[in-house]
Amino acid sequence: MTRVLVVVPCFNEQASVGRVVAEVKTHLPEADVLVVDDCSSDGTLIAAQAAGAEVVSLCVNLGVGGAMRVGYRYADEHGYDVVLQVDGDGQHDSAVARPLLDAVANGADLVIGARFAGTGDYDVRGPRRWSMRLLAAVLSRRTGVRLTDTTSGFRAASPRATRLFARHYAAEYLGDTIEAIVLASKAGLVIEQVPVAMRARTTGRPSAGSWRAVLYLGRVVLALVLSSVRRFPSQVDA
């Protein structure tokens, strides 16, 4: 029996986290659920506990990267076979998570659930779309794997990837998406993409707005440049 840990990074998601946890428990009954509460100021903690998840609370807001590294550290310490990341805002449907877990079972180290790979009707346009195109092109080239949705947070990690991420996951902006892929690739891990359908967020507003989308594009370019010159470990430490 493979031991699965579902990590749900949350920042002020009291409206959705309960349902996310409940869904995971329904669709992946064998999995343990760990909610990482990234210093929320609302009732995220209580909602997650009420839904029956294990909750780790950060006393300083670290962002998704920091929250996920806690999840990977937890998984590494407790010897899980797969770590599945599911965002707390409800856009990841755990009913379609099984193929991600299967891919890890079949030897992949980092499996990315991708939106634009054929299933689902998730639509983005403008600068944000260009950013995603650029990311997909550059990272596909660099990893040698066809990636279409590199910023997807719907991911599964093998124990090797978990150990790597537990130590080196960047807390910076986009560190949880771009750098994580480069990190895994440089360490010689097997990256794979699995098409999934995603929902629009159940709560909260998507960070659209053309101004912010342009700013986002700039940060994407910066993150890509940085990740190409930065040093990364060439293998997973024992």
Partner 1 sequence: MNGVFVVGLIGGAVSLVLIGELLRRRQLREKYAVIWLLIGLPIAVLAVAPSLLDKAADQLGVADPVNLLLFLSVLVLLGVCLHLSWECSRLEEETRSLVEEVALLRHRVERWERR
| Site residues for partner 1 per CB under 8 A | 36, 54-60, 62, 66, 69-70, 73-74, 77, 171
Are residues 183 and 231 in contact, defined by beta-carbon separation less than 8 angstroms? no
Residue number, 78 or 212, with CB nearest to partner 1: 78
Nearest distance in Å: CB 32, partner 1: 13
For the CB of residue 226, give the shortest distance to partner 1 in the complex, in Å.
13
Minimum CB separation of residue 96 from partner 1 in Å reads 29
* Separation between Cα atoms, residue 123 and residue 140, nearest integer Å: 21
Report d(CA 125, CA 210) in Å as an integer: 10
Helices of type H across the chain: 17-27, 44-50, 63-78, 98-105, 127-143, 159-168, 180-186, 210-229
Q: Which is nearer to partner 1, 102 or 172 (CB)?
A: 172
Q: Residue 83 or 111: which CB sits closer to partner 1?
A: 83
- For 53-91, letters b (16+ CB in 10 Å) and e give bebbebeeebbbbbbbbbbbbbbbeeebbbbbbbbbbbb
Closest distance of CB 159 from partner 1, Å: 18
Closer residue to partner 1 (CB): 7 or 114: 7
- Of residues 10 and 147, the one with the C-beta less far from partner 1: 10
Which residues, at least 6 apart from 209, have a Cβ–Cβ distance to it below 8 Å? none
Nearest approach, Cβ of 214 to partner 1 (angstroms)? 26
